């Protein structure tokens, strides 16, 4: 205490210093030295202990989605001091992922949310002050509903063009509609002869679910057993599959299911990845051009649409795909031109059936000058009354309301 009174900082031993850091009790100088890596490491420990939900991970692992986001943030903000990160820096980072790497707005919001969560935790632990947290914007997701889906021939094309380690991975997504991050997390330890189980921690909804090994899925699993190497069902030389965005885009461009566009001119690149307007050429190492085309997530929409067309109960579909609500499921029920053509064909056939004759309840009454029925057709006869009501409604602008309309309602 004498040192404090004399204006000299009291000595703190190494053990005490470590305790202060672990408890988040840092002085202003230490706060200035806190970097983003330490904030993200603290968030990772917090999430492993259950986060704000107070439910620790049962196997000491984060979900595939959380793990991927934290790895990316570690990689992109390594060495950056937390107090020096400003709103403009975060905006530039989000803009680069959105425009240069083609990330969806919903995905970017998840990444930004984790970055903000790391700052909130540091403030709660007294490692930073609220003034040190940058303003992190949230992108609007109103236009986030995509309309892409695969036809069978398109799927066969893209499957053949993908690297071998992604072919069964894509096939499984096409059949089940499961999210790519969820497929990456599937392990042999949770798979038996007739069921594949997804852990709650690996599901986006936080709820476990299972997929039966039937049909095409059984064929996929049989092939994967022959190529088994490590704990993952789908793997890259034994390791968990990581970001396959570039491999996917190249396969789509190769099969005509996607294209690269020049960032400056917004002109489609030719077969040599060269812009015909400004002559810029992508060598595979420079900043990637803009990609437009099919997405892996289109398999999810395709599976939902095809199961609905096949007459599968929507609740059963949700148990496979993991959609939480019926409204979310309906967003994936894509209506295309074929559905509209089929609807018009059905309606045309129905009207032809109506016009075939009176013995089939057709429109013969209309062809007989609007209701020249016999007494047996309208005097107390339910069918005759219904016909009269329909014909009156069709000519309501020409005829006054029938006086005995109320009597029809009571019969």
Q: How many CA atoms lie within 13 A of 209 on its CB side?
A: 21
Distance from C-alpha of 196 to C-alpha of 172, rounded to nearest angstrom? 12
Q: Which residue has the tokens 């885009």?
A: 249
* 138-145 long-range contacts, CB within 8 A, separation 24+: 138/109, 138/112, 139/94, 139/98, 139/105, 139/108, 139/109, 140/105, 141/105, 141/106, 141/109, 143/105, 144/104, 144/105, 144/106, 145/331
Specify the DSSP class assigned to residue 130. Answer: G
Q: Which tokens in the block code for residue 251?
A: 């396969």
Three-state secondary-structure class, residue 240? strand
Query: How would you class 119 by CB atoms within 10 Å of its CB: exposed for 0-12, middle for 13-18, buried for 19 or more?
Result: buried
- Radius of gyration for the chain, computed over Cα atoms and rounded to the nearest angstrom: 32
| β-strands 195-198, 239-240 pairing | unpaired
**Residues 27-39: tens digit of each pLDDT:** 455 555 578 888 8
Tell me what pLDDT residue 327 has: 72
Tell me what pLDDT residue 296 has: 94
Q: What are the residues whose beta carbons fall under 8 Å from the beta carbon of 179, sequence distance 6 or more?
A: 204, 297, 300, 322
Are 94 and 112 contacting, i.e. CB atoms less than 8 angstroms apart? yes
Low-confidence residues in the chain, pLDDT < 50:
1-9, 11-14, 17-27, 363-380, 392, 395-411
**Residues 100-159: tens digit of each pLDDT:** 777 778 888 889 999 999 999 989 888 888 888 888 888 887 665 556 889 999 999 999
Please tell me whether the overall predicted TM-score, pTM, comes out greater than 0.85 for this model: no
Tell me what pLDDT residue 165 has: 96
End-to-end CA distance of the chain: 100
Domains, the chain, with CATH or none = 2-132 (no CATH), 152-257 (1.10.443.10), 355-409 (no CATH)
């Amino acid at each position: 205490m004498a040192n404090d009174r004399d204006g000299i900082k009291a000595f703190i031993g190494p053990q005490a210093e470590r305790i202060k850091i672990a408890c988040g009790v840092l002085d202003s100088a230490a706060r200035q030295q806190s970097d983003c890596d330490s904030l993200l490491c603290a968030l990772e420990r917090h999430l492993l202990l259950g986060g704000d939900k107070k439910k620790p991970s049962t196997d000491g692992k984060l979900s595939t989605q959380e793990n991927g986001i934290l790895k990316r943030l570690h990689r992109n903000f390594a060495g950056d001091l937390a107090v020096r990160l400003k709103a403009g820096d975060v905006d530039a980072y989000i803009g680069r992922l959105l425009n240069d790497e083609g990330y969806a707005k919903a995905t970017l919001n998840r990444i930004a949310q984790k970055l903000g969560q790391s700052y909130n935790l540091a403030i709660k632990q007294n490692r930073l002050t609220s003034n040190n947290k940058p303003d992190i914007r949230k992108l609007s997701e109103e236009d986030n509903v995509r309309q892409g889906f695969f036809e069978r021939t398109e799927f066969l094309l893209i499957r053949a063009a993908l690297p071998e380690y992604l072919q069964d991975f894509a096939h499984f997504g096409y059949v089940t509609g499961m999210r790519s991050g969820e497929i990456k997390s599937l392990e042999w330890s949770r798979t038996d002869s007739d069921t594949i189980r997804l852990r709650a921690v690996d599901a986006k909804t936080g709820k476990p679910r299972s997929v039966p090994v039937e049909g095409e899925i059984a064929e996929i699993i049989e092939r994967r057993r022959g190529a088994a190497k490590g704990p993952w069902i789908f793997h890259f030389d034994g390791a968990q599959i990581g970001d396959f965005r570039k491999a996917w885009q190249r396969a789509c461009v190769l099969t005509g299911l996607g294209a690269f566009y020049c960032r400056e001119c917004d002109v489609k690149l030719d077969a040599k990845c060269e812009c015909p307007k400004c002559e810029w050429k992508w060598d595979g190492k420079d900043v990637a051009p803009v990609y437009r085309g099919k997405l892996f997530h289109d398999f999810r929409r395709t599976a939902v649409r095809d199961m609905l067309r096949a007459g599968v109960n929507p609740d059963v579909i949700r148990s496979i795909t993991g959609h939480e609500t019926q409204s979310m499921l309906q967003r994936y029920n894509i209506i295309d031109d074929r559905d509209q053509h089929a609807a018009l064909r059905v309606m045309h056939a129905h009207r032809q059936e109506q016009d075939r004759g009176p013995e089939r309840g057709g429109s013969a009454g209309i062809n007989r000058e609007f209701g020249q029925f016999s007494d047996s057709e309208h005097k107390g006869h339910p069918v005759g009354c219904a016909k009269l009501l329909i014909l009156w409604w069709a000519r309501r602008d020409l005829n006054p309301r029938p006086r005995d309309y109320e009597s029809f309602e009571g019969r």
